[in-house]
Amino acid sequence: MRRMLIACVALLLPAMAPAQSATQVAERAGFVGTILISQGHVVETRTSIGSAAPTGGAPVATDAVWRWASVTKQIVATLVMQEVAAGRVALDTPIARYLPKFRGPTAGQITVRQLLRHQSGLPNPSGDETAVPVYYTPSYKGDRSPLTGYCAGKPLTAPGGNWQYNNCDYIVAGALLEAVTGKSWDRLLRYRITAPLRLRSVSATRSLVATVPGYEDGKPEAPQDLASYGASAALSGTIDDLWRVDRALLSGQLLTPAARAELWDGQPALGFIALGQWVFTAPLKGCAKPVKLVERRGSIGGVEVRNFLLPEADRVVIAFSNRAPFEFGEVWQGKGFSHDLLAAAACAPGEK
């Protein structure tokens, strides 16, 4: 398939540095999708590579609406930490204090911190082996209530052990936010983040028709009910609006320094998982010293996202793809697409 490339939007960037090398990394890896790289408040690279559909045609528009998938968790964890900073929520208090109507049998044992760090042991709606778990399909007839439905069912494990990735953790966290603030998590998001930052594309209920369609193994993905992901993965928006959220986190607009440090407290013994994201330091080829990274990833159907914040370098690197499976790789392994993209962004001439 002939590849197509929308010219990079390069602001304040000489032709030699990360814009070209990042694009070359993407093309060499066979990446299809959209990439944004920024330094401070300046977007250096905004690029779409490849055609929107496997059959060819125009690339995805750089202002297209993407599913943010589990990047939603990163944002919901930020909202919870705002409540922690205000003294209305305590991370090491059982969730039963805030959700007395939650029917899960371990509500008195699961702490808010364990919920945000995937140590709750709650049921996992993504646990069945079908291509699309029935919980997320339009045909699901069960109870999706965070307090009485699937997520309040029989726990998989006792709380407090090793982390187990689970969308129920954040579906319940959304209910906790509503119980404490009196606003649904998506209304609170609008009040606290999207309205102040003037993010016009962000939605928690948008249908798949309005987002970039995904393809799995070259075929259109199976239908899903995006809203069913709730506070775990239902958000969608443009790549630019996600960048604005990242910038607000980096610049201290959304959290106090203490609350952000708690949010980004990656635990080595737990694979560097923090609250709603992973935070670790990794060597990048070409950089003079290891780089601190805040990583949040997500996928729904054929759409995948990687959202990287580099706090010490004041950089953001975001990549959306609508071709699954795509091998992003693991940064800490020192190779693969994510590593090479970050190296191109953070270790360019003059940035080492």
Report DSSP letters for 213-236, one per residue: PPEETTEEPPP--GGGGHHHH--E
Q: Which ranges of 194-289 does DSSP label H, i.e. alpha helix? A: 230-233, 239-250, 257-263
Task: Report the C-alpha dihedral over residues 145, 76, 70, 173, rounded to 10 degrees.
Answer: -30
Is 184 one of the catalytic residues? Answer: no
Q: Which H or E element spans position 42?
A: strand 42-49
The radius of gyration of the chain from alpha carbons, rounded to an integer in Å, stands at 20
| Beta-bridge mates of residue 237 | 66
User: By the 8 A CB rule, do 54 and 60 touch?
Assistant: no
| Annotated catalytic residue, options 70, 201, 203, 232 | 70
With the C-alpha atoms ordered 199, 200, 202, 204, is the resulting torsion angle positive or negative?
Answer: positive
How many Å apart are CA 50 and CA 47, to the nearest integer?
A: 10
Strand, coil or helix: 152 = helix
How many Å apart are CA 337 and CA 160, to the nearest integer?
A: 33
**Polymer length in residues for the chain:** 352
How many Å apart are CA 43 and CA 21, to the nearest integer?
A: 15
Cβ atoms within 10 Å of 54's Cβ, excluding its own: 16
**Greatest alpha-carbon span in the chain:** 59
User: Closest Cα partner for 274 from 148, 151, 119?
Assistant: 119
| Beta-bridge mates of residue 297 | 306
Q: Could you give the residue numbers annotated as active site?
A: 70
